[in-house]
Amino acid sequence: MNDRVNKTSICSISFLDIVDYSKKTDSEQIEIKKQFNNLINLGLKDVAQDDRIVLDTGDGAAIAYKGSPEEALFSCMTIRDEILKSNIHSAMPLYVRLGINLGPVRHVSDINGQPNIIGDGINVAQRIMSFANPNQILVSRSYYEVVSRLTHEISQMFDYSGVKNDKHMREHEIYSVRLMVGDKGPVVIKADSKSRLESIQKWVFASLTVFLSIVLLWQTNNTQQQKVQPINTFESKVPLEQKTSQSTEQSVTEDADSSSLNPNKKNQVKLSWDKMKQSMNKGAKEPNCSPAQKSMKHCN
């Protein structure tokens, strides 16, 4: 191994993560980690020790396979299938997400002098793992392109799962590994209930946002209409007689101005207008009384 330190190579890397491990109590974490380590040893029993590097990540593990690329696939399938079998009768079921990638890594030594790996290959493997559902295996496109060309049987183990964006907005094409159940053929692992619940919550939130936006827009328009309404109401309350008087006065004034070249006609227009105003004022002051009422002085 020493001759390979600080050298870059293309490896198959699997990244495994125990779901909700940090939420467990100390005693539960110890029991789960013991079970998880036994599964790792079971999955790696056919992989030569010199062809692998195993890293403990605390709540999971990362494994670099320096030999055949299909070894990563078979090891992860062994671990997943054993988890599914043990969960049937287990009082504390285990849920693990698994991701596989093929990419460049650099072989280095850690702080204790033990072999370690860094680089984009392991980083992408972790991103691919983060997209997986509990007890589901996802692989990157780079890994799929290589391993699916090995045999026809291996190529039938995958289903295309689309493009995903990680937290750095980097796109990843992913493929899910089918679950082989007896003679019934390949079965695709469906999304867990937690993922469905998150999708429903996002849909409800989006619907409420649209509804509140519509209500806010309606209230804004209604408020603007109410601000304009008092002006129209005030204008509607102006007496018709006052409007008529103003209109007539304006008309007479315009006629008087237009006849400024004829002083006699201008005087006649003003005299007519004065008589009309006296008549209107007299009619407004005198109530409509009958002759009998006027004789009895009931009308002033």
The C-alpha atoms of residue 82 and residue 226 are separated, in whole angstroms, by 70
For 44-140, where are the alpha helices, taking DSSP H only? 70-88, 120-130
Give me the average pLDDT of each 10-residue run along the chain (300 residues).
69 95 92 94 92 93 94 96 91 93 92 90 95 96 95 94 91 91 43 52 74 81 66 48 54 52 57 66 55 54
pTM listed for this prediction = 0.60
Given this model, what pLDDT does residue 151 score? 94
Q: What is the pLDDT of residue 216?
A: 80
Q: Which token pair is 212?
A: 């509140």
Instruction: Enumerate residues 6+ apart whose C-beta is below 8 A from 266.
Output: 256, 259, 260
For residues 230 and 43, what is the distance between their CA atoms, to the nearest angstrom?
81
Nearest to 18 by CA among 59, 75, 77: 59
Q: What is the distance, to the nearest Å, from the Cα of residue 290 to the centroid of all Cα atoms in its chain?
A: 83
DSSP letters, 181-208, are -TTS-EEPPPPPHHHHHHHHHHHHHHHH
Q: Could you tell me the domains of the chain?
A: 2-190 (3.30.70.1230)
Report helix, strand or coil for 298: coil
